[in-house]
Homo-oligomer: A and B are copies of this chain.
Amino acid sequence: MKKITYFLLFILAWHMGAQQKELSLKDAVLGYYKGLYPKTLRNMQWLKNTDDFLYNDGQQILIKNVDNQVVKKIDLTQIAQGLKDLNRLPYIETATDQDLVFTQGNAKILYDYNTGQTTRINYPEKAQNFDYNPTHKYLAYTIDNNLYLANLDTAQIPVAVFDNKNIVSGQAIARSEFGITKGTFWSPKADKLAFYQKDETNVDDYPLVDITVTPAKLHNIKYPMNGRGSEEPGVGVYDLSAKKTVYLKLFSRAGKEHYATNLTWGPQEKYIYLAEVNRDQDHMWFNQYNAETGDFVKTLFEEKNDKWVEPEHPAFFIPNGKNQFIWLSERDGFMNLYKYNTDGKLIKQLTHNHWVTNDVLGFSKKGKYAFIEGTGKDPRDKKLFKVNMRNGKMTTLTPQSGQHRILMNDAKTLYLDNFSNVDTPRIIYLQDVARKLNTVLLKADNPVKDYNVNPKPEMFSLTGEYGDKIYARLFKPLDFDSAKKYPVLVYVYGGPHAQMNTSSWMGGAPLWMPWLAAQGYLVFTVDGHGSDNRGFAFESVIHRHLGRIEMKDQLHGVDYLKSLPYVDTKRLAVHGWSFGGFMTSSLMTTYPDVFTTGVAGGPVTDWKWYEVMYGERYMDRYQQNPEGFKETSVLNKIQNLKGHLMTIHGYQDDVVVPQHDIALHREAIKKGIQMDFYLYPTAKHNVRGIDRVHLMTKVLNYIMQYNK
C-alpha cells in the first residue's frame, strides 16, 4: 500500500508541477519586474498636436498612426549613450511632432526623430522637479529650495532664489493635498512660468536620523504638525521676455496660513485663478489675479461646508471664446460639473450625477463637448464620458464594466483605452470618440496562469454602517474547498482618498494576496465609509473622529466572514499600512476580541502627530477637538490589547513620522503591554524594492505564526 501511496503522490506532484508552478512570495512581491502582472505597452503616449502615438516595444520606440501602422522605429540604443540594458531604455518624457525628450546623465536629451539630431539642455546634478515645455524648449527645475530655468542656449536663469532655506519655490506646496502635484505651471503659450512658493519659517523641524553614514547623521525635515505653525503659500510669475518675477498679492481674508490651490492659467495668460481655502478648510474663495501686476482682481465665487471644502481640480476653460470654464464641485454631494464664466456667474450645473467625476480630460474643438472620467454608477469602475456643454447630456464612451485608463490626443478626437476588469488582465484599444475604430493594440494574457494562485477575487457588496452599501473583495485559493475551514487575513486601508476594491485585474489587489490565499488563507478587504469614489456624505461621516465609523464597517465585514461556513472564525488577522496601520492598531485595541493578530505598518497612532493639511481637514486642530483626539488615539487604548500586534515603520518616514510608532511602544511599555516592532532603516513611508520582499515576508510570517 505504501508503494501505491508514493506513486499517487508522485503523479500528483508531477501533475501539479506540470500545471502549476509554485509562486514564491518574492516573485509575488516583485511581480511587476517578473512579468507576473499583465503585459502592457510601456511608455505609451500621444505625440503632442498629432494623431500619432508611441510606445516602447522593449527594443525600440515605435511611433504609430491612427491606422496602427508604424510610422517610425527609433532605436534608442543608438541615441542614448552607453546603454547596456534594454530593460532600462530611457523613458520618453515628452513627445512632440518633432522631438522625443528623455533624461540621460544631467541633461534632457531632445532627439529630433526627423533629422536624427540630438540637442541637450544641461542642468546641475542636484536639480529636481523638472518641468519641460516644448514650445520654447525651456526646462524649469529646482535646486534645493530655489527655482531655475534653462534652455538649449542660455546658462541657468535664476527665477526664484533665496538664501533663506525656509522660502521654497517651484515645488508642490500644502504637502500635495488639494490635488497639488507640482510647483510649476507654464502659461498656455509658454511665455510665462507661474510657480508655487511656501514660507516654512513657522513650521517645526522633525528630526530623522540617517544611519547609513558614520556617525549617524541628523536629517531635519520641515513637518507642520497638527495645530502648530504651518506654511504660508505664495505664487510667483516669471516672464520670459521681461526676465522678471512678480508675486501675486494673495488674498488676506483666508489668513496667512491658508491654502492656495489648483492654480489655473486663464487662456490668454493675463489672469491666474486660485481656489484659496482657509486653514480651517471650511471656506473656499475662487479668486482671480492679474498675472502681470500680481494684483488681486476679484473673488468669482465661494464655497463653504461645516465639515470641509476640498477643491481638487483646476478650472477647465472651455474653448468657446466666451470666458467660460468648468468647475468641479462636491457641493451637491457628488463631484459634478458647473459651468461658470469669468465674471463669477454660475451659468449652469451641467451634471447631476449621483456618482463621482474624477477628471476633465478636455474639450472637443469648439467646446461643444467635454470629455470626463468618472465612475459611472458602479463606483469601482472608471469610465470615459462625453458631456454636452450646453445641456449636460452625457454619453458613455466606454460602457464595459471595468477600469478604463484613458489617454486622449490633443484634439480630443482619439483615445487610448487601457482597460482591465476582474476577468480581463488588460486590453489596450485605440479608439475614436465616435467609437468606430475599435483597434486592439494589445491583449494581455493571464500572467499567472501557470502558477498555483487564483488571481480572480470574488467581488461583492455588503451592508455597512447606516445601511449603506460597502464593497468587498475576497481571495480564495485555487483549490478552495467549501467543506474546509480557512483562516482569514483582513487587509484594510479604510481612510479617505483611497479605494482598495476596483473592477480591475485582481480587483486592484497586489499579487501577494493570491499568494497568501495559495497558502490556505482567505484574504478579505472591504472599503468602508470614508473611502474614495462614493461622494461627500459617505466620505465625510468620518469627520472629527477618524476610525470610529471606519471600524464599524470593518466589523460588518467581519460579521459577513463569520457567516461563511468555510471561515475559521477564531483565526482572523488584520493588516494595513498608513491609515490602514491606524485602523489595524485601532481595531486590535478597540475590539480586542475580534482578531488574533495584527500587523500595523506606518501607523498613525495619534492624530496630533500628523500633518496640518490632511489631518486638520478630517480632525480639526487638536485644540478644537480634544474629545476627538482623545477618542482616536491608539495610545489611550493600548492597554486593551489582547492579541499579537506588530507595528512596522520606515525609519525615514516623512509622512507618518516615526514618533507615532515609537511613542505607541513607549506607552505600551509604561502599561506593561507586550507588542512587536520592526523598522526599515532607510525606508520612507512605503517600503519599496527588494526591501519590500523582506517586509512582506515579515508581515505574512507574523500573521501565519500567530493567527491560530
Interface residues of A (CB under 8 A from B): 204-207, 209, 211-212, 214-218, 220, 223, 225, 228, 608-609, 651, 657-659, 662-663, 665-666, 669-670, 672, 674, 676-682, 690-691, 693-694, 697-698, 701
Contacts and interface: CB of A to CB of B under 8 A. Distances in A.
Given A674-B697, A676-B676, A215 B609 contact: yes
28 contacts: A206-B216, A207-B209, A207-B217, A209-B209, A211-B662, A212-B666, A214-B609, A214-B659, A215-B223, A215-B225, A215-B228, A215-B609, A215-B657, A651-B662, A662-B681, A663-B681, A665-B679, A665-B681, A666-B681, A666-B682, A669-B694, A670-B690, A670-B691, A674-B694, A674-B697, A676-B676, A677-B677, A677-B678
B676 A211 contact: no
A662 B210 CA distance: 10
A259 to B, nearest CB: 21
A388 B308 CA distance: 89
B659 A215 contact: yes
Contacts of A216: 206-207, 657-659, 662
Nearest to A622: B214
Contacts of A207: 207, 209, 216-218
A673 to B, nearest CB: 8
Contacts of A218: 205, 207, 218, 220
A215 B206 contact: yes
A679 B648 CA distance: 12
Nearest to A705: B705
Given A207-B216, A694-B669, A694-B672, A662 B677 contact: no
A214 B608 contact: yes
Contact of A212 (B225, B663, B694): B663
Contacts of A225: 214-215
Nearest to A213: B659
A610 to B, nearest CB: 11
Sort A-B residue pairs by CB-CB distance and give the 10 closest, nearest first.
Answer: A666-B681, A207-B218, A216-B659, A211-B662, A669-B694, A211-B659, A211-B663, A662-B681, A204-B215, A215-B225
A665 B698 CA distance: 13
Given A215-B657, A674-B698, A677-B677, 12 more contacts: A204-B215, A205-B215, A206-B216, A207-B216, A214-B225, A216-B658, A218-B218, A662-B679, A665-B679, A666-B682, A670-B690, A672-B693
Given A211-B662, A691-B669, A678 B681 contact: no
